[in-house]
Amino acid sequence: MSTEPAKPKIKHDWYQTDAQVVVTILIKNAPADKVKVHYGNRSLSVTSAIPSSDSEYSLEVELAHEIVPSMSSYNVTPSKIEVKLQKKEGLRWTVLEGEGKDEKVKAIPQAVIDASGPLSQQPPKLFRKDWDKIEQDIKKMEEEEKPEGDAALNALFQKIYGEGSDEVRRAMNKSFVESGGTVLSTNWNQVGKEKVDVKPPDGLEYRKWDN
């Protein structure tokens, strides 16, 4: 009696910013040409060949909230597959999958919280706990690979955000969201005074995705 070899267990996790939900799939040396990602308004499908195995990895997720498929993307590195889902609304997700009924209001900007004093209800502890866990995983993966180009720049931004003060994090979140992702500043004294304007690269024109 023959038995089929057990499929390798592949771990996936997620974290979020004000604008994106990032899903990380820990497949090492995944062949980029055999990774397929499909985005729906509220769904995510990822398939990939698994190196040194005849098996294929498959992830099917019914998302808790809507995303913008045309503004979502993925990247394959030697240690993982990273999928960036653009949020349709600036909601703070409490779960990746399911109905997401717990959070139907937009996250309150930190600047508003500071100006209005203590609130009776603080942000869910689960969100902060998940972020700390993912940040540790990212640091571990970064030790195994040397990022280059955009990956190196993203790693630098993650390090600044993770180790920066509350003012640095507020400045990065506010500048990125208000500028449509074209400005990322760590200077709260500058960006906290007024709305951050969109500044697309030279020769490019900024347009909203729904126009």
Quick: pLDDT tens for 147-204: 565 666 666 667 776 676 777 777 778 777 777 766 777 777 776 777 776 666 555 5
- Give CA 200 to chain center in angstroms: 21
User: What pLDDT shows up at residue 10?
Assistant: 87
Ranges in the chain, pLDDT < 70: 1-8, 100-135, 142-157, 161-162, 164, 181-182, 191, 197-211
User: What pLDDT shows up at residue 43?
Assistant: 95
Please list the residues that pair with 15 across neighbouring strands: 22
pTM value surpassing 0.85:
no
Q: Which structural domains are found in the chain, ordered by start?
A: 12-163 (2.60.40.790)
Give the chain's radius of gyration (CA, Å): 19
- Strands 56-62, 20-25: pairing kind: unpaired
User: What pLDDT shows up at residue 123?
Assistant: 47
Q: How far apart are CA 96 and CA 116, in angstroms?
A: 30
What is the number of alpha carbons within 13 Å of residue 171 lying toward its C-beta? 18
Task: Report yes or no: 200 and 206 within 8 Å, Cβ to Cβ.
Answer: yes
